[in-house]
């Protein structure tokens, strides 16, 4: 039977059969995944969505009654929509520790000191079992420029409480972090409005 002669009823029947088979496969996968523990998530790549996906998880975690700690390693602006809304919610501890983009500060020694202070804050969260989710926003940038040592960072991440989730964001995640992570997503740009001449819009980019 060709697609041309397939009626709506045929298509419905085929679809329903395919979905029955899919359900069997999905159910088997769900049955196989029974470990319960905190996961280390890394959002990297050059596309949009690394930080915003982390903030979406803050919302999810809060909805399940968890406490959340956020450290922003690079961003310095205090007027972001995410901080205004999430920073004020009960259960959220939000720390903007950066001093701006690396090409704005143009001062590596100061960036290193800033990153060290931010890591101290992060370490506090990583030692607190009452914090269910820790967001380390743009940590990958601090690692990329070697403002922080990957070994120190990994040791603290791996020593965290068993049920604590951590999300690390930023371009160019180091291979050691990718290896240690449970879930890694590369936000791959297919196209971006900025390249087409659209200004960074409030509500979209900050």
Distances (CA, A) of 11 to 8, 14, 26: 5, 5, 22
Contact 91, 67 (CB under 8 A): yes
User: Using the rule CB under 8 A, is 203 a contact of its own copies?
Assistant: yes
Among 74, 165, 168, 170, indicate the residue that binds its own copies (CB under 8 A). Answer: 165
User: Using the rule CB under 8 A, is 1 a contact of its own copies?
Assistant: no
Among 72, 75, 102, 153, indicate the residue that binds its own copies (CB under 8 A). Answer: 102
Residue with tokens 């371009």: 171
Q: 1 exposed, middle or buried (CB, 10 Å; 0-12, 13-18, 19+)?
A: exposed
User: Using the rule CB under 8 A, is 72 a contact of its own copies?
Assistant: no
Among 70, 74, 86, 139, indicate the residue that binds its own copies (CB under 8 A). Answer: 86
User: Using the rule CB under 8 A, is 41 a contact of its own copies?
Assistant: yes
Measured CA to CA, the distance from residue 125 to residue 172 in angstroms comes to 24
User: Using the rule CB under 8 A, is 51 a contact of its own copies?
Assistant: yes
User: Using the rule CB under 8 A, is 85 a contact of its own copies?
Assistant: yes
- At residue 104, φ and ψ (nearest 5 deg) are -90, -40
Q: Is 172 helix (H, G, I), strand (E, B) or coil?
A: coil
Nearest-5° angle of CA 24, CA 30, CA 31? 90
Question: Minimum distance between the CB of residue 130 and its own copies, rounded to whole angstroms?
Answer: 14
Among 5, 28, 36, 151, indicate the residue that binds its own copies (CB under 8 A). Answer: 36
User: Using the rule CB under 8 A, is 127 a contact of its own copies?
Assistant: no
Contacts of 25 (CB under 8 A, 6+ apart): none
Question: Minimum distance between the CB of residue 184 and its own copies, rounded to whole angstroms?
Answer: 4
Binding mask 10-29 for its own copies (x = CB under 8 A): -xx--xx--xx-xx--x--x
Structure-block tokens of residue 187:
């936000």
Measured CA to CA, the distance from residue 121 to residue 128 in angstroms comes to 11
Among 57, 116, 128, 150, indicate the residue that binds its own copies (CB under 8 A). Answer: 57
Kindly state the greatest CA–CA separation across the chain.
70
Among 75, 82, 96, 160, indicate the residue that binds its own copies (CB under 8 A). Answer: 82
User: Using the rule CB under 8 A, is 129 a contact of its own copies?
Assistant: no
User: Using the rule CB under 8 A, is 192 a contact of its own copies?
Assistant: yes
Question: Minimum distance between the CB of residue 68 and its own copies, rounded to whole angstroms?
Answer: 9
């Amino acid at each position: 039977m060709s697609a041309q002669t397939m009626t709506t009823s045929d298509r419905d029947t085929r679809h329903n059969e395919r979905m029955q088979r899919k359900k069997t496969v999905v159910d088997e996968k769900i049955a196989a995944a029974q470990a319960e523990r905190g996961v280390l998530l890394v959002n990297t790549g050059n596309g949009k969505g690394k930080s915003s996906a982390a903030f979406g998880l803050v919302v999810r975690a809060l909805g399940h009654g968890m406490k959340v700690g956020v450290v922003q390693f690079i961003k310095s602006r205090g007027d972001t929509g995410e901080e205004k809304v999430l920073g004020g919610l009960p259960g959220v501890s939000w720390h903007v520790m950066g001093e701006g983009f690396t090409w704005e500060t143009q001062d590596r020694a100061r960036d290193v000191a800033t990153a060290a202070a931010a890591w101290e804050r992060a370490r506090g969260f990583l030692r607190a079992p009452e914090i269910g989710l820790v967001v380390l926003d743009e940590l990958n940038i601090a690692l990329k420029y070697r403002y922080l040592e990957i070994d120190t960072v990994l040791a603290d991440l791996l020593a965290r409480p068993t049920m604590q989730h951590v999300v690390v964001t930023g371009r160019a995640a180091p291979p050691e972090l990718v290896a240690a992570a449970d879930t890694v997503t590369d936000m791959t740009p297919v196209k971006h409005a900025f390249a087409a001449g659209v200004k960074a819009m409030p509500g979209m980019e900050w």
